[in-house]
Structure 1
Amino acid sequence: MHIVVVGLNHRTAPVEVREKFTFAQGDLPQALQELKNTKSVLECVVVATCNRTEIYAVVDKLPRYSHYIRGFIEKWFNVPREQFRDYLYSYEEDKAIRHLFKVTAGLNSMIIGETQILGQVKDAFFLAQQNQATGTMFNELFKQAITTAKRAHYETSIAENAVSVSYAAVELGKRIFGSYANKKVLIVGAGKMGELTLKHLRVSGLKQLYVVNRTFSKALELAESAGGTACQFERLAELLTEVDVVITSTGATEFVLTHKMLQTVVAQRKSRPLFMMDIAVPRDADPKIGELANVFLYDIDDLEALVESNMEERQKEAAKIELMIDNEMIAFEMWQRTLGVAPLIQALHQKASSVHEETMDSLLKKLPELDERQIKVIRKLTKSIVNQMLRDPIVRIKEMSAQRHGDEALDYFTQIFALEEILAEQHMESDEKQHNPSKENEQSSTTVQGWQREMTTLALP
């Protein structure tokens, strides 16, 4: 079995291409079933967001898997593969596994270190698992990737530094005041930047918010979404005398906040400081305003310098996460190597149990005078002898299977204990389960749902 990923994202495809390959949420169960039924595919998970569409799969053969998965993409989206071939990437084995770890931890995102993708990968995996599209391999791999990403966000500060201008504006205010709880904030402009700024303010403990916009209905809509107060644009100067923080982001081509207006405002504020963050381009605030007493003006260049500094900090934290991923990949490889041990141990126990039962039957025929108590004691003691004889070989083969030539060790073990016939029977039973996987998925879902319940109780950082 081989782990692969085929997909496209914001780095390989422009938005006009990405939008052609988005899965409707309601269609994903059917897509997973069709993908699972695709030739060569044994397990699959689809991670679909606004910035990426990725198909993770466990396949039986490497040479042709890409052809079959591209065929699925072509058929599902009704787009000839010639139109998307150049935008796709595909990774195999270790590269595919590392890619999943990096995606889940936010290292492959447009904004490095963002946490939203973690929830999206988790939801994608749970959906695939619920639709019986995953098995032993992905149940382990995705669990490990999600757990590692969560640990990465808790153990590093990668998500703590503002890396968008709107977020930086809000964080700068936090640095100055410590908290927005008792401060009055005015947002000038109800466009996209104003909306983004408001989202960041909403989780910062803000209680008193005012929104001003030339189109009052837009100001009203934005203010109501956050429990704030919309005001007519004509009240701008009046509000400037009352608030503590101003964040402005209009689309105006001339100064909305003039030097003359702020001179009047400063006179009425009686030495109370006013912090102004101008994130508009062109600027909304006359730069000469920053020369007035007790007025602290920051423009987009100031904030972008902060963003750049914070991005450098995130890169440092990302390097720490890369080391975590290295260790987790080693752990997953060790787990993969030991997968072949379980059938051998099961076969060995089965053979030992059979020999034990045959021996007991022979003993009882030769000693018919034994009573129930004596038979019980003999059975227990002989069973103990068998288990003690098996203990060391089992411990050793577990250790050897995780080493470099583990496959050879498994082969020798099979030959030494003559387990070929029992393993062949196990293989036939496994083939039957693949044709009727419902029972196996019921068993695996019990394990996954257990840690799923555990993880959903943990809030994203």
Structure 2
Amino acid sequence: MVLFTCNRTEVYVASRELDEGIGVVQNFLSRKSGTDISQIKNYTYVHILYDAIRHLFRVASGLDSMVLGETEILGQVRSAYRTAYTNGSTSSCLNSLFQQAITVGKKVHRETAIDQNAVSVSYAAVELARQTLGDLKGRSVLILGAGKISELSVRYLVANGVNGVIVSNRSYNRALELAREFGGRAVRFEELYQHLIKSDIVISCTGAPHYVVHHRQVDEVLRSRPGAKILIVDIAVPRDIDPAVAELPGISLYDIDDLQYIVDRNIALRRQMAVDAEGIIEDELDRFMKWLGTQFVVPTVSALKQWAEEIKQKELRRALNRLGELAPHDRKVIGSLVNSIVNQLLHVPITRLKDYALTSKGHLYTEVLQVLFDLQVEEEQDREYILKTMIDGGKV
């Protein structure tokens, strides 16, 4: 199974032979990339079983991401697994592993809230708007500049309920393009003041070498809207907004330094939450390893159940034939009785066998059960090694 993200290429494999499994993956990467196998070996590293599973759980939880605690990777893990499963390239071992990894990722985000604090400047601006204005539903925003940061800011604001988007940019066509993407409208740069006064939020990031919003002009337009409260967030470097604007009544002005403080504080919070997340991952890893350690008894348990089912069906048919005509209700009662007896007889030996599977006597008791009940079980295969081969930084 292959997991691609913006900064990683990882191949997950379940293999019965460790060295052979690693070699197969490295040869595959060499063929697909047209890169000499020696270079592939230099750029890859391998995790095996316990370490590979821990790594996947950390990846799915956002603990191995460039942005600590981000949630996008969980969707990428789910998508990669779905693609591999659909194409028939996963084993039962990998199916169980990735289903559990997705579950662990959800649990980490649910129980630690590690993704709840903004760690990008754009999202920090939205967090600041919520803190200042409360609910953003129905609020209006004026965006000055139409670059990537402006685009992300609009995206986050709209996702949080803002529905009046106005974009102003030196290049009107670019402003038009961004406004259309979010159902807003574009205005000429020279018209920004008449729209600023109508907005609840102003986000500015133009890249201009000088101020684009000045104290005198804002003071003039504020007189037409007495009591107005406007949040202005200046993300630009150098600044777009004259700092003196902050002195005007009703204006709350924040700049990139204020946002960076929020980001730094939230990164520290995420690091604290990551400690709790690591604890969850270790608990889930221990639970999964115990489950994995019992899987060699599954064929024997299945054979025992099949053996009991065949005897049950044969004897039930014989008994019903002897009893002759019975009402459907009576047949159902007899069938339920037989099922209950068989299930109760099998419950203790199956449970004990699974318990012993985690001890040094697991294989012995499995063989004893096979002999005692004359079970026909395919020769036990060696445990699959779970491998994770990663191309460092995706560089090949």
Return the TM-score normalized by structure 2: 0.83
In structure 2, what is the equivalent of residue 453 of structure 1? none
The letter of the residue matching 2:176 is L
Q: Which runs of 5+ in 2 are unaligned?
A: 325-334, 383-396
Map 1:7-18 onto structure 2 (within 5 A): none
The letter of the residue matching 1:298 is Y
The alignment status of 1:287 with 2:239, answered yes or no, reads no
Structure 1 residue corresponding to 2:81, chosen from 125, 142, 152 = 125
Determine the C-alpha separation between the residues in 2 that align with 1:238 and 1:352. 83
Map 1:20-169 onto structure 2 (within 5 A): 45-169=1-125
Point out which structure has higher relative CO (alpha carbons under 8 A, 6+ apart): 2
Deviates more, 1:126-135 or 1:383-392: 383-392
* Offset, 1:274: 2.2
The alignment status of 1:324 with 2:280, answered yes or no, reads yes
CA contact (8 A) 2:208 2:238 kept: yes
Q: 1:201 to 1:417 in 2, by over 3 A?
A: closer
The letter of the residue matching 2:198 is E
Determine the C-alpha separation between the residues in 2 that align with 1:357 and 1:243. 76
CA contact (8 A) 2:246 2:252 kept: yes
CA contact (8 A) 1:348 1:419 kept: no
* Offset, 1:355: 9.1
- Equivalent pairs: percent with the same residue? 40
The letter of the residue matching 1:409 is G
In structure 2, what is the equivalent of residue 218 of structure 1? 174
In structure 1, what is the equivalent of residue 131 of structure 2? 175
Q: 1:387 to 1:154 in 2, by over 3 A?
A: closer
Determine the C-alpha separation between the residues in 2 that align with 1:356 and 1:217. 78
Structure 1 residue corresponding to 2:359, chosen from 390, 404, 407 = 404
Q: 1:419 to 1:46 in 2, by over 3 A?
A: farther
The letter of the residue matching 2:379 is H
Structure 1 residue corresponding to 2:367, chosen from 388, 402, 414 = 414
In structure 1, what is the equivalent of residue 387 of structure 2? none
The letter of the residue matching 2:367 is T
CA contact (8 A) 2:14 2:91 kept: no
* Offset, 1:261: 2.8
The alignment status of 1:372 with 2:322, answered yes or no, reads yes
* Offset, 1:316: 2.2
The alignment status of 1:426 with 2:378, answered yes or no, reads yes
Deviates more, 1:327-336 or 1:341-350: 341-350
Structure 1 residue corresponding to 2:256, chosen from 297, 300, 306 = 300
* Offset, 1:317: 2.2
Structure 2 residue corresponding to 1:340, chosen from 296, 308, 313 = 296
CA contact (8 A) 1:347 1:419 kept: no
Q: 1:288 to 1:387 in 2, by over 3 A?
A: closer
Determine the C-alpha separation between the residues in 2 that align with 1:150 and 1:382. 42
The Cα offsets for residues 22-44 of structure 1, whole Å up to 9 and x where unpaired, read as xxxxxxxxxxxxxxxxxxxxxxx
Count residues with an aligned counterpart.
370
CA contact (8 A) 1:186 1:243 kept: yes
Structure 2 residue corresponding to 1:314, chosen from 246, 250, 270 = 270
Q: 1:326 to 1:383 in 2, by over 3 A?
A: closer
Q: Secondary structure at the match of 2:221?
A: helix
Determine the C-alpha separation between the residues in 2 that align with 1:319 and 1:274. 39
The Cα offsets for residues 6-59 of structure 1, whole Å up to 9 and x where unpaired, read as xxxxxxxxxxxxxxxxxxxxxxxxxxxxxxxxxxxxxxx111122221111101
* Offset, 1:72: 0.6
Q: Secondary structure at the match of 1:296?
A: strand
The letter of the residue matching 1:287 is P
CA contact (8 A) 1:48 1:54 kept: yes
The alignment status of 1:230 with 2:182, answered yes or no, reads no
CA contact (8 A) 1:210 1:223 kept: yes
Structure 1 residue corresponding to 2:217, chosen from 256, 261, 266 = 261
Return the TM-score normalized by structure 1: 0.72
Q: Secondary structure at the match of 1:246?
A: strand
Q: 1:70 to 1:263 in 2, by over 3 A?
A: same
The Cα offsets for residues 232-274 of structure 1, whole Å up to 9 and x where unpaired, read as 0110122222222110001111111123333333344324222
Q: Secondary structure at the match of 1:56?
A: strand
Q: 1:410 to 1:233 in 2, by over 3 A?
A: same
Determine the C-alpha separation between the residues in 1 that align with 2:284 and 2:247. 54
The letter of the residue matching 2:322 is E
CA contact (8 A) 1:414 1:420 kept: no
The alignment status of 1:278 with 2:234, answered yes or no, reads yes
CA contact (8 A) 1:101 1:149 kept: yes
The letter of the residue matching 1:372 is R
* Offset, 1:343: 1.9
Q: Which runs of 5+ in 1 are unaligned?
A: 1-44, 365-370, 375-379, 432-461
Q: 1:373 to 1:302 in 2, by over 3 A?
A: same
Determine the C-alpha separation between the residues in 2 that align with 1:416 and 1:155. 42
Tell me how large the CA RMSD over aligned residues is: 3.2
Determine the C-alpha separation between the residues in 2 that align with 1:245 and 1:389. 70
CA contact (8 A) 2:356 2:365 kept: no
Determine the C-alpha separation between the residues in 1 that align with 2:88 and 2:17. 21
Deviates more, 1:146-155 or 1:413-422: 413-422
Determine the C-alpha separation between the residues in 2 that align with 1:182 and 1:153. 29
Structure 2 residue corresponding to 1:243, chosen from 199, 220, 241 = 199
* Offset, 1:294: 2.6
The Cα offsets for residues 100-126 of structure 1, whole Å up to 9 and x where unpaired, read as 111111111121222111111111111
In structure 1, what is the equivalent of residue 385 of structure 2? none
